[in-house]
Amino acid sequence: MTMLKSNILRILKLALLGTALCAPAMAQVPVNSGLMISGNCSGCDLSGRDMSRLTLTGADFTNSTFDYADLSGGAFDKSNLSGAQFRRAYLIRTTGNSVNLSRAILSDAMMNEASLSASNLSDTDLRRCDMSGGVFTKSDFSRAQLINASASQADFTEAQFHNAQLDHANLENAIFISAEFRDAQFGHANVSGAIFENADLSGADLSETRGLTQNQLDQACGSHNTKLPTGNKTLRICPKHMLVAASAPEIAVADRTHRRAVFEGVDYGPKLDQLERTRRDLRETLDTIDRAIAALPARGSAATRAELEFSRRQIVKMMDRL
């Protein structure tokens, strides 16, 4: 193993003649090495190297360091880069399928127009990373940190963002068709123009997002604990959450019958649509009551306030029973 690592490093030094052996503060000017590497170089320190158009096909570079390195135009198909460090690295227009970047550190990296499909970026640090114009279809960003990241016009079709942190991320005009955001924290992310067609926002916190419109929400679905911005915005409940009520023991038996009936081909769509319309109407009524209470004068309105608050409690009970 030690001999193989030494050989790979020797090849890198020869191919990148003129690059300093110690990591410089910034990557050198690209020399278009076109270097191809396979094998195992786990834990290698390649900081600051100019390795543009580097091909790592099926290579194992776990826990290696690429800080400030230039990997622009590289190809990483089926490579294992888990735990690797790419701080301020240049990964512009890199490509790869089934790349393992779990637990990698890509903070402040440049990934403009990168294409990493069906790849594992779970638990990855992508803070302040520039992913704009990239393609990350079917990739896994579960628990990833995309705080202050830029992903404008990036394609995340069928990607997963379970428990991801997206505070202050720039997601303008990004594509999230059929993406999953279970329990994701959007914080103050900018989602102006983003496409959420068939996206699952179950449990996600969108209460402080910027640029979110009702039209975007109409394309998506969520769960009862999805948090929306204040106002009259609504979100339909994903069918899987209405059909599976395991969290409600008192209707567990009915739920099993319901699921069995669905599997037998019974169409519950119209009833579910009616249920969702009723919920939406009740939420709008609650918003109206809240505005009325807020508009009441401080004095001389105790009776009116008490009546409105009683009506509000009754509506909340009705929603809990639905």
Render pLDDT for 60-88 as a digit per residue (tens, 0 to 9).
Answer: 999 999 999 999 999 999 999 999 999 99
Total number of domains constituting the chain: 1
214: in domain: no
Question: pLDDT class for 13, splitting at 50, 70, 90?
Answer: very low
- Please list the residues that pair with 80 across neighbouring strands: 60, 100
276: in domain: yes
304: in domain: yes
309: in domain: yes
Query: Are β-strands 95-97 and 115-117 bridged in parallel, bridged antiparallel, or unpaired?
Result: parallel
295: in domain: yes
- Reduce the DSSP state of residue 233 to 3 states and report it: coil
pTM for this entry? 0.67
128: in domain: no
- Phi, then psi, of 42 in degrees rounded to 5: -60, 130
90: in domain: no
Which residues, 6+ apart, have CB-to-CB distance to 160 below 8 Å? 139, 140, 141, 142, 179, 180
Max intra-chain CA distance, the chain: 87
The Cα–Cα gap between 112 and 150 comes to: 9
- Phi, then psi, of 185 in degrees rounded to 5: -110, 105
129: in domain: no
Task: Kindly calculate the radius of gyration of the chain based on its CA atoms and give it in whole angstroms.
Answer: 25
The Cα–Cα gap between 109 and 126 comes to: 8
Domain that holds residue 285: 269-321
Question: If you average pLDDT over every residue of the chain, what do you get?
Answer: 81
For residue range 135-188, list pLDDT tens digits in order: 999 999 999 999 999 999 999 999 999 999 999 999 999 999 999 999 999 999
- Phi, then psi, of 20 in degrees rounded to 5: -60, 145
Q: Is 115 or 309 the better-scoring residue by pLDDT?
A: 115
